[in-house]
Chain A
């Protein structure tokens, strides 16, 4: 009979995890380049309670287990900012960022220039071009980023455009297997090599907002709290039942 409590508990633990995922999505609803996550559940068959040899035997118990969270890699809405150092990626692809922990991939295109003139993320990590980092000169002005990632500037009073590098935009065969690494970056699993995209489409002066859909998250949250409460009341009833059984069955007639 304890099984009711355990099955209920497994569901409650899974629901609490799902709420954690939703809380993280909603906390990042204004984070540029953030990709929403969803939790996936599977049933977990209890292997022990299997005395099914006699009529009306034990049923196999089914528990719930949270199996996975997956990233929704769909495009977030783009917001025009007019800032020349903002880049949004239209369609698939990631910018490559050099971090102390190795190469990371991001869709957050709110870029900056550091004191050495290098193109960096707001964490100060170098943004990689096709030939190493992109470095601006002291007299550069009017930074322009073309849809295919070429970064050009006007140097000094010159009317000629000078090339400062080409942003490296990469894709993955199975982008769903990327792992989130915090600070709006993803890391690739071992054996998953990034491939350079031949035709990336970058939009300068815009930023990709997070793709969290607030309505979906809110309704899922309501569903979670209601289910959680229902299971709590099932557990309550089961507890009452056991209490009554103990009281009545163990009632010693006087």
Chain B
């Protein structure tokens, strides 16, 4: 019976749904994390009696037909790229983006990745790096005697060197935007890479060309909302159970059929 397989597609889809939700909940406190959502679509239909078929020479047509669907499929798990809340941390090297754009990060193999996670560090050579030690673009190196780091809304990094009163500008953080930021590929470590779906990266600086501005001593929190995730989780679990019931019902019917033979 078709119902068995249809219910199986439903159970598989809900299992994936729970997987996506659990990943969102697991990353609730991950800086710069963007929540994902599982999207579903119905599968092909078998048109047993096609709507609009002519049923007589007088031109009568079927007003309704018999369409049998074959279940559900996962269309995708797109990311919802809305702004997360800013959390003040008081740390000089924490930067949050308010608005569009990503920080540009150089990976060890020379290629670039993009992130919304602005919890930067200084490495042993005084360079501005991510928590994994990847260079933040463009390379910014702090002098050894520098103090009081300032990163302004446009992304200019400046420090005060002993003996001078005016701050020295060390560089301006590169910001990148994409026409379809939901099409970026996540590679873990809060990093994304460019794909054919995202479009080509457009480099620029904060506060120009629709790029967001930067907030020093803040971090962007994940845009996961606990209430939404939990209610989605409940819905997914119930949907899974109902599909399991369909399997049971089909099984019962098949059983009563086979019991007819004694």
What residues make up the interface of A, taking CB atoms closer than 8 Å to B?
12, 15-17, 19-24, 26-32, 34, 37, 39-40, 66-70, 81-85, 108, 110, 112-117, 122-123, 136, 138-141, 154-157, 174, 176-177, 179-184, 189-191, 214, 217-218, 221-222, 224-225, 228-229, 232-233, 235-236, 239
| Most B C-beta atoms less than 10 A away, residue of A27, A140, A183, A225 | A27
Say yes or no: A235-B64 contact (C-beta < 8 A), given A19-B3, A27-B72, A115-B180.
no
Is A30 a contact of B246 with CB atoms below 8 Å?
Answer: no
Q: Tell me the complex Cα distance, A114–B228, Å.
A: 26
Q: How far is the CB of B35 from chain A (nearest CB, A)?
A: 10
What residues make up the interface of B, taking CB atoms closer than 8 Å to A?
1-4, 6-7, 9-10, 13-14, 17, 37, 39-45, 47-52, 62-72, 75-76, 78, 80, 82, 99-100, 177, 179-180, 182-183, 196-199, 202, 207-210, 228, 235-236, 238-239, 242-243, 245-246, 249-250, 252-253, 256-257, 259-260
Is A108 a contact of B41 with CB atoms below 8 Å?
Answer: yes
Q: Tell me the complex Cα distance, A37–B6, Å.
A: 14
Please, which residue of chain A has its CB at the minimum distance from the CB of B212? A141
Is A68 a contact of B49 with CB atoms below 8 Å?
Answer: yes
What are 13 A-B residue pairs whose CB atoms fall within 8 Å in the complex?
A20-B69, A23-B243, A24-B68, A24-B70, A26-B246, A28-B71, A28-B72, A67-B64, A69-B67, A115-B179, A122-B39, A141-B99, A179-B45
Is B209 a contact of A190 with CB atoms below 8 Å?
Answer: no
Is A182 a contact of B249 with CB atoms below 8 Å?
Answer: no
Instruction: Give 9 nearest A-B pairs by CB, closest first.
Output: A27-B10, A24-B69, A23-B3, A68-B64, A23-B6, A189-B52, A115-B199, A232-B256, A31-B40
Is A27 a contact of B198 with CB atoms below 8 Å?
Answer: no
Q: Tell me the complex Cα distance, A67–B199, Å.
A: 49
